[in-house]
Structure 1
């Protein structure tokens, strides 16, 4: 039997093949990745499953792609710090697609296997006080929809107002994606598996 958080072997909504994308779908992807991104996907003959699924709703895809692109390419909080937060969200929400993709990118953002284990455990000896508070803030937002006063005050020592505004949006964006991915039974792309990535708990 498939567990509640383990994707079934087939998606509930199949990714839309690129040759079936209409003008609205193309525009939705181009809004975040540009015309060059669309051409690159066409040359490859495929797009990431998340994009190819979202383009079933082009208007939503366009809006969400712009938000996601902002958080991925220009995070006020910093790339490493963003990854700590979103990986904790992926772990807590049991979002396999999100978890596998981002664990495989940890070195790119200055994280290693020790950090990944810390994300699983919720704490890591080598982390700074800020690192620990960011992960704690993610937990508080997931559990109570609010960062508590003590954690907020500690975060405010290190983060400016722009970064503090962004932090709940990182947690909210990736928890929203987790809900979608888990509900769609979104599958990993062909040729990509979870080998070497710590498995999500039942």
Structure 2
């Protein structure tokens, strides 16, 4: 299968968010209330450490790497900033964008980056990455790793398709030299 070249990101919304308070993605989904209701069920699991078994650091690393891979600037902006607060969880956004090329990751973080990259590229986690992650995470957490990467790939695809735009003050993707 040949994957087509990526098109340019949208710079204006295809679907305007409804007026009012809240995140733009939530207000955009309100254009389709039945979908909005169904959409809201999964984050309660994925984003809750008690339910998913993933610590916020690990969850946000998976989410941000998936958002980077999909070039979902709104997803990136919200999880670096107000929603995910990446830096508060010990994450450096530039490193997440650089992936394995960044220095400073520990073996577990590299395995999470690999899992996000493999789920994005291959829609599965390789045996080698699974084995590495299984040394630290139990079966419940392994489900959560896969579900988090899968969910946020779907979120990123939807954000990109609708053209949901970050706010003017939101942090955008870092500039990478040599990429």
Runs of 5+ in structure 1 lacking a partner?
19-45
Aligned length: 167
> Are 1:11 and 2:13 an aligned pair?
yes
> Could you say which structure has the larger radius of gyration?
1
Q: Distance in 2 between matches of 1:199 and 1:16?
A: 32
Residue in structure 1 matched with residue 134 of structure 2 by the alignment: 156
SS of the aligned residue for 1:127 comes to: coil
In structure 2, C-alpha distance between the alignment counterparts of 1:89 and 1:52, rounded to whole Å: 22
- CA displacement 1:164-184 (0-9 Å, x = unmatched): 011111111111011111111
Q: Would you say 1:99 and 2:99 are equivalent positions?
A: no
TM-score by length of 2: 0.84
Structure 1 residue 5, shift from structure 2 partner? 4.3
Equivalent positions of 1:187-198 (< 5 A) are: 187-189=165-167, 191-194=168-171, 197-198=173-174
Q: Displacement, 1:200?
A: 8.2
* CA distance, structure 2, for counterparts of residue 81 and residue 127 of structure 1: 12
Shift of 1:73: 3.0
C-alpha distance in 2, partners of 1:182/1:51? Answer: 14
TM-score (norm 1): 0.75
Checking the alignment, whether the CA contact within 8 Å between 1:87 and 1:102 is kept in structure 2 is yes
Q: Does 1:79 align with 2:48?
A: no
Which of 28, 34, 39 is 1:53 aligned to? 28
- How far, CA to CA, are the matches of 2:103 and 2:28 in structure 1? 39
Which is helix-richer, 1 or 2? Answer: 1
Runs of 4+ in 1 over 6 A off after TM superposition: none
Quote the residue 1:43 is aligned against: none
Q: Which runs of structure 2 are paired with 1:131-150 in the superposition (5 Å)?
A: 131-150=109-128
In the other structure, the counterpart of 2:39 is 64
Decide whether aligned partners of structure 1 residues 47 and 200 sit closer, same or farther in structure 2, where only a CA change above 3 A counts: farther
Shift of 1:199: 4.6
* Stretches of structure 2 lacking an aligned partner (at least 5 in a row): 1-5
Q: Deviations over 1:17-52 (max 9, x none)?
A: 24xxxxxxxxxxxxxxxxxxxxxxxxxxx2211000
Once the two structures are TM-superposed, the CA of residue 139 in structure 1 deviates from its matched residue by: 0.8
Matches of 2:162 and 2:175 in 1, distance apart?
Answer: 20
Note the 1:109-124 alignment, pairs <5 A: 109-111=89-91, 115-123=92-100, 124=102
